[in-house]
Amino acid sequence: MHINWLINYTYLRCRRRNYIVQSFNEIGLTCHILGGDFYAFPSIDSTGLSSEQFAERLLIEEGVAVVPGNDFGESGQGHIRCSYATSLEQLQEAVERIKRFIEKLDCKTF
């Protein structure tokens, strides 16, 4: 019984991870699969905003909470940290809101 739970849990976690990484890449935020669990760390350099600006505006304008990458050190500037430890449906909604936010920025890349 425990092994079935673990297999299902691992499958769902990988499915959510793959979805969020692929979605970020599709909307122009370069993102790679990381070794750690539950978090994605996409680059937001293409938006022209700092990590703090991006996180604050995304929260205010679209109601999506992310953590500025520079909270994890100087090398995190230009990134945001996003948890995917939630349902696929909630991730899909968050991606749509992030996409809408980026489109409103009218970035050259998009």
For 40: left if phi > 0, alpha if psi spans -120 to 50, otherwise beta; the answer is: beta
Residue 103 in this model has a pLDDT that exceeds 90: yes
73-74-75-76 Cα dihedral, nearest 10 degrees? 60
The 10s digit of each residue's pLDDT in 63-97 is 999 999 999 999 999 999 999 999 999 999 999 99
Q: How far apart are CA 40 and CA 74, in angstroms?
A: 17
Q: Which two tokens stand for residue 93?
A: 């909604």
**What confidence tier does 27 reach under pLDDT thresholds 50, 70, 90?**
very high
- Range 3-28 average pLDDT: 88
User: Which CATH class name applies to 2-105?
Assistant: alpha beta
The 10s digit of each residue's pLDDT in 42-69 is 999 999 999 999 999 999 999 999 999 9
For position 1, what pLDDT does the model report?
A: 55
